[in-house]
Chain A
Amino acid sequence: MIKNYFKIAWRNLLKHKLFSFINIFGLAVGLATCVLLTLYIMDEMSYDIHHKDADQVYRVFMESAGTELATTAGPMAQTLQDEFPEIALATRVLKFPNIDKFLLKNNKDNIKLYETNGYYVDSTFFNVLTYDFKYGSASTALNQPNMVVLSEDVAIKLFGDKNPINEVIDIEIPYGETKYTVGGVFRKDTYKSHISANLLLSMRNNDVGTWVDSQEGILGNNLFYTYIKLKKGSDIANFEQKLPDFTQRHLGAQLAESNFERSYLTQPLKDIYLKSNMQWELSANGSMTYIYIFSAIAAFLLLIACVNFMNLSTARSEKRAREVGVRKVLGAKKKVLIFQFFGESLLLCLLALLIALVLVWTLIPIFNTLINKQLDLFAHPGILLIIVGLTVLTSVLSGLYPALYLSSFAPVTVLKGALVNSISAKSIRKGLVIFQFTVSAALILVSGMIWQQMNFLKNKDLGFKKEHQLLIPLRSSEVAQNYTTFKTELLKNPNVVSASAGDSYPGLHVISDNAFYAEDKTVQDNVYTRYGQVADDYIETLGYTLLHGRAFSKNRANDSLSIILNKTAVEQIGYTPETAVGRKVFYGNAEEKNHFEIIGVIEDFNFKSLHEPIAPYALLTLGQANPNYFVVTLSQANFAAAIKEVQGLWERLHPNIPFEYSFLDEDFYRNYAAEQRVSKVVFWFMFIAIFIACIGLFGLASFTTEQRKKEVGIRRVLGASVLGITSLHLKDFLKLVFTAMLVASPLAYYIGNRWLDNFAYKIEISWVHFAVATLLAVCIAVSTVGFHVVKAALSNPTKSLRTE
């Protein structure tokens, strides 16, 4: 029996090659997309689920004036552990500001390299978070000061394949060079964690360790990530309820004085990667929103492919109707027939699955570069179950309606040869095509909005000069201390327009902040202001616009008490840009009355990404501090050559330190990495959606024009022109496209606006978007059905009438 069904199904497939191709290929593309996106989603959901007792681990974060900050002060962990018996263990992670790369030196083998993602951690770190050790163990890895745990990759780069335990490496940061002993090597690929570390260094050490130890109180220097592990049976809600009291006890007086608010909260370890998006996260996290977006895209693409199957099966039902009739007369029950048609859709889905797996296999590397991940089809065994589930689901989704529809034919009517294409089936088909085009049109619209916004982000005037700006990180004390020599030498080069140095640059996360208030106001009125510390010529090099006053003088000692504010800061503090120069701003508590004198006012510029509006910002001189970055403006004409020359100079002055550079505009744009990734994915899946919908429409058009052949013949005989008949057919399809556009527009408007809400600076969605998208959709639809429509209109009427 089943053999018979498959035989029929198989022969039907071969007989109707166009339909089979459309169905199988469409479903294959749909399934392949689904599998790829499922892999992505599974990967995103696999973060931090591996830790031992992960359910009991939480991160403590704080909230102040509506802003959430992922970090707390250094002594927070110990204080909490001392005061709350339900905490089994508290441990800290420190991402030291302005060290984005560590210079690692294996002097024995003379290997030097820069490495990112190095974090200082407490010795208890591995008791709270679980790592897969290749060498060493959790208990011994950090049991002494000045120890370091390396990721497998870094260990191989430094020591090759040998076991590096107890080897000593020099680690250089701008504050000096220190010897560390390797205490362990962990495998990075086994587990995924929001702490994506390459190096984990002892918090007790000879470089930043003294600074860490000097931390007192929990008010300021909120730079530490604090993780707590609760004892079994303790309730986190209970613990959290006690935190306001704790805050009041420790900070009540200080907060009241400066009119600050602060509360401490906790978040589950497992939720951090997908659900946490605070200020000063350890590294860029994933996002639930994108999981939802990708799930929706996957589901809709599969549905679009299923719709093709439904439409083509019911449209062709006339051809199958006779078979249904005969089978019923020969004794087949409806149930048996439903089973048969299901079998057919299952067969089709299995064929589609084979192709889909080949597609996934070949497309995974491309997809990986698109989303910047290392997905592997077999990384999660669970994916196999999902693939089987998806295939069954697809065959049910696509096969259910046709099976019910086809098996319901009454033998008496179909055997008489009556037309079986009922009105209801036709309108369901139309509805399904509208659905397909709605999804495609919405994707076209949203992609258009995203594309325009990304363009806007790239081209918007940020208020400073971002092109042809070379950024050179100064990662060792040697170069940081001697930056003036480097600058003097640089400026001798005619291709160097300008050069300066500072602790940061626009687009980089600004961590220095203070709160200032005006002469006639009190500490209660202070304005939260971020600042950067800069060398002379900085304003000129970066191209900030000086509105009033002056820039810092060459002699920095003169300006140690001077401040330059941006317009927003001046206005919020309570001065006007015109009169601010010469006035003072105060900070600190009421008794001390520390102050700076305003020497200049600069025009607002985007010191942060366009996600956020411009906030108060100030510039101070570097004073005795070392700069972290060198900024060089190169001439446009000899850009490439100039970089070579800068590199040559660096290698002459600092032969022992690798030269590294980046470009300011690219670095700034990197703030939109997540959006860029999503925009690429949405673009690709828009094309796939349109492709699947179009091959379906192509098949349907071939069917409907075939069915109306006789009508066309009669019209032609009665004098209709080719153009008239073409437009008659096209009108039918265009009606569907316009309806889809009507449904898709508000949908896309809503989704687009939600996405644009991520940005403080954004494009306006206008009617132009909708007009262009409609035009595009019409063009796509016309070019898809055009072939069949024109073919039908041109066909010889005597032929089509004779065959009837």
Chain B
Amino acid sequence: MLLQLNNISKWVHSGGQKVYLLKDISFWVNEGDFISIMGPSGSGKSTLLHILGMIDDFNEGEYTFLDESVHNLKEKYRANLYKQYIGFVFQSYHLIDELTVKENLEMPLLYKKYSGSERKAMVADMLDRFNIVGKKDLFPTQLSGGQQQLVGIARALIASPKLILADEPTGNLNSKQGEEIMDIFTQLNKEGVTIIQVTHSEKNMAYGSRVINLLDGSIQ
């Protein structure tokens, strides 16, 4: 088992009242799963994804990741944990505009203390794997949306994470580009990478092996 959530709740106070963003969420994820989180706007999908990615807090419940109790971990260890095992893919790619494709790919490695030659090799490997060697010196704004998302996925994968968290990865793409991206996810999943995606689209949901439906912060 890769991770497990037990009765996770998150709330905010608004006008003196407790408003639940997530309520009593429990599920588990095995290695190699491809899970789709579905639900209408405001149902808590992204919040759940951020909690899974350890970049957001929760108020109640237990979160176990690879037998570590995330809710008991100090910030520093938690950061190390997600740095090592989790990769993020965003709807709007979130590439850094001032850096070239190659440099964007290299960036996560800079925060993980790889040597220069190691970084070079890993970046070259990724460029090769996603067939974007020719684009390595271009800036994000010089690429199409699909190509940018390709770089985004390559960046998420470069440190060989166990888990990829994708927040509407095709949301900004046209259908053809979207299909290509989803094919890549399927391919990755076959190679053993666990994937959790948040999506609106029934079509994308079909790529996954399991679906979690959220409504108003609770699993349906």
- A residues bordering B, Cβ < 8 Å? 1, 4, 7-8, 11-12, 15, 322-323, 325-333, 336, 411-412, 415-417
Contact = CB atoms under 8 A, between A and B. Distances in A.
Contacts of B79: 331, 333
Given A411-B55, A416-B46, A331 B111 contact: yes
Contacts, number: 55
A331 B98 contact: no
A7 B99 contact: yes
Contact of A331 (B46, B90, B103, B108): B108
Given A322-B94, A329-B88, A331-B112, A4 B50 contact: no
Given A11-B98, A331-B111, 13 more contacts: A1-B110, A4-B110, A7-B103, A12-B98, A15-B98, A328-B55, A330-B107, A333-B79, A333-B111, A336-B111, A411-B55, A415-B90, A417-B92
B21 to A, nearest CB: 12
A5 to B, nearest CB: 9
A12 B98 CA distance: 7
A409 to B, nearest CB: 12
A331 B99 contact: no
Contact of B98 (A1, A8, A328, A417): A8
A4 B94 contact: no
Interface residues of B, number: 24
A8 B94 contact: no
A326 B56 contact: no
B143 interface: no
A439 B64 CA distance: 58
B53 interface: yes
6 contacts: A11-B99, A329-B88, A330-B107, A333-B111, A412-B55, A416-B46
Contacts of B90: 415
Contact of A4 (B46, B53, B82, B107): B107
A336 B82 CA distance: 17
Interface in B90-113: 90, 92, 94-96, 98-99, 103, 106-108, 110-112
Contacts of B155: 330
B71 interface: no
A11 to B, nearest CB: 4
A336 B76 CA distance: 13
Contacts of A336: 111
B83 interface: yes
A4 B103 contact: yes
Given A7-B99, A11-B98, A15-B98, A327 B55 contact: no
B137 to A, nearest CB: 13
Which of B46, B55, B92, B110 has the most chain A CB within a 10 Å cutoff?
A: B110
Interface string B128-157: 000000000000000000000000000100
Contacts of B55: 328-329, 411-412
A12 B99 CA distance: 10
A1 B56 CA distance: 27
Nearest to B87: A330
Contacts of A417: 92
Contact of B106 (A4, A327, A329, A416): A4
Nearest to B93: A326
B14 to A, nearest CB: 16
Contacts of A327: 96, 107, 111
A330 B103 contact: no
Nearest to B95: A326
B98 A412 contact: no
Give the 4 A-B residue pairs with the shortest CB-CB distance, closest first: A331-B111, A331-B83, A11-B98, A330-B108
